[in-house]
Amino acid sequence: YMAHNNQTWMNEFILLGLSNDWKIQIYLFVLFLAMYLVTMLGNFLIIHLIRIDIRLHTPMYFFLSILSFVDICYMNSTVPQMLIHFLSSRKSIPFHSCVVQLYITLALGGTEFFLLGAMAYDRYVAVCYPLHYTVIMHGGLCIALAAACWTAGFLNSLMETIITFRLPLCKDVINHFACETLAVLRLACVDISFNKVMVAFSGFVVLMLPCSLVLFSYAQIVKAILRIRSAQGRRKAFGTCASHLTVVSLCFGASIFTYMKPQSNSSAENEKMLALFYTTVAPMLNPMIYSLRNKEVMGALRRALGRFSEET
């Protein structure tokens, strides 16, 4: 009963953040502000290029534009608050804002992993069935896959958020820079074995299923590439997939290590460092990887700059 009352009276949480040292917080503010601006610029640029260049109106870039939009929303769900807290003496977040933040970050994260799985399937069809690619990956299928990714991500997040905040919470200090599932569960004053099982189940659905689809797709892609006789043809085929494979390795690696390892071996500080990677570093690297390693995107950028210089 007391635990239930404690949860009822709890109006806000205190976030410990990354450091208590004022000078370090100033340095972190400058660093993450720069990363935030680079991420926003890079992802908005990709979305704009895909929208204005008809050569990029293909299924691959359709999914890439959605991925960039998800990265923009995902970073905005945590980084602006983190920047404010770097300059604040009291790092608090209202209870309802914590609930919303957890729901949004989980939903966007899940959507991104499902999108990466859909993009792997797109590359599989492009490499293994090039003559039937446009027939298989038609507009209706692309829209259906994108809608399924959004729906699955938000439904999974709803389930996990509900079971997390139904727990009676006896503490109000979260050892994290944002409201994150594992950090919030540490505030509970009851047994959380069921929640740990559900976190593992959610991780399996959101991480391991898309990752399995990616591994299967690329196993088939490698087989198809090895059957290509010319070395130039093999390089071209692998080049269409290298960027996506790099992003997949970055995103899945940190998240699987965080959510799929035994919880007894978990550390709050390690979880914060890993969370920093997949909430700030990965969204910043995605547009760089896709643009610098992709001739079509760089070509679209040059054409856009050429048109802009002609108009001015």
pLDDT digits (tens, 9 = 90+) for 110-163: 999 999 899 889 988 988 888 899 999 999 999 999 999 999 999 999 999 999
pLDDT digits (tens, 9 = 90+) for 209-260: 888 888 888 888 888 877 777 676 667 666 666 666 777 777 777 677 766 6
Q: Does any domain span residue 122?
A: yes
* pTM for this entry: 0.87
Residue 177 burial class via C-beta count within 10 angstroms: exposed 0-12, middle 13-18, buried 19 and up: buried
Mean pLDDT of 31-50: 93
Task: Give, as one character, the DSSP assignment of residue 1.
Answer: -
Q: Does any domain span residue 138?
A: yes
Q: Does any domain span residue 162?
A: yes
Q: Is the pLDDT of residue 171 over 50?
A: yes
pLDDT digits (tens, 9 = 90+) for 183-199: 899 888 888 888 888 88
Nearest 5°: phi and psi at 46? -60, -45
Residue 3: its pLDDT value, please? 45
Beta pairing partners, 174: 15
Q: Does any domain span residue 6?
A: no
Residue 193 burial class via C-beta count within 10 angstroms: exposed 0-12, middle 13-18, buried 19 and up: exposed
Residue 26: its pLDDT value, please? 93
Largest CA distance in the chain: 72
Q: Is the pLDDT of residue 289 over 90?
A: no
Residue 263: its pLDDT value, please? 54
What's the CA gap between 83 and 101, in Å, rounded? 15
State the helix-helix crossing angle for 59-76 and 95-128, rounded to 10 degrees: 160
What's the CA gap between 179 and 134, in Å, rounded? 42
Neighbours of 154 (CB within 10 A): 17
Which is more confidently placed, 241 or 83?
83
Q: Would you place residue 101 in the very low, low, confident or very high pLDDT band (cuts 50, 70, 90)?
A: very high
Q: Does any domain span residue 140?
A: yes
CA 205 to chain centre: 15
CA 237 to chain centre: 26
Q: What is the DSSP string of 246-285?
A: HHHHHHHHHHHHHHSS-GGG--HHHHHHHHHIIIIIHHHH
Instruction: Sheet with 12-15: list strands edge to edge.
Output: 92-94, 12-15, 173-174
Q: Would you place residue 88 in the very low, low, confident or very high pLDDT band (cuts 50, 70, 90)?
A: confident
8 Å CB contact between 277 and 251: no
Whose CA is closest to 192, among 172, 165, 174? 165
Domain count, the chain: 1
Q: Is the pLDDT of residue 264 over 80?
A: no
Q: Does any domain span residue 141?
A: yes
8 Å CB contact between 260 and 207: yes
CATH code for the domain of 275: 1.20.1070.10
8 Å CB contact between 168 and 189: yes
Q: Which H/E stretch holds residue 13? A: strand 12-15
Weakest mean pLDDT among 25-39, 120-134, 138-152, 293-307? 293-307
Query: Which residues span the domain enclosing 25?
Result: 11-311
What percentage of the chain exceeds 90 in pLDDT?
36
Q: What is the mean pLDDT of the chain?
A: 84
Q: Is the pLDDT of residue 286 over 70?
A: yes
Q: Does any domain span residue 132?
A: yes
Residue 5: its pLDDT value, please? 45
Q: Does any domain span residue 1?
A: no
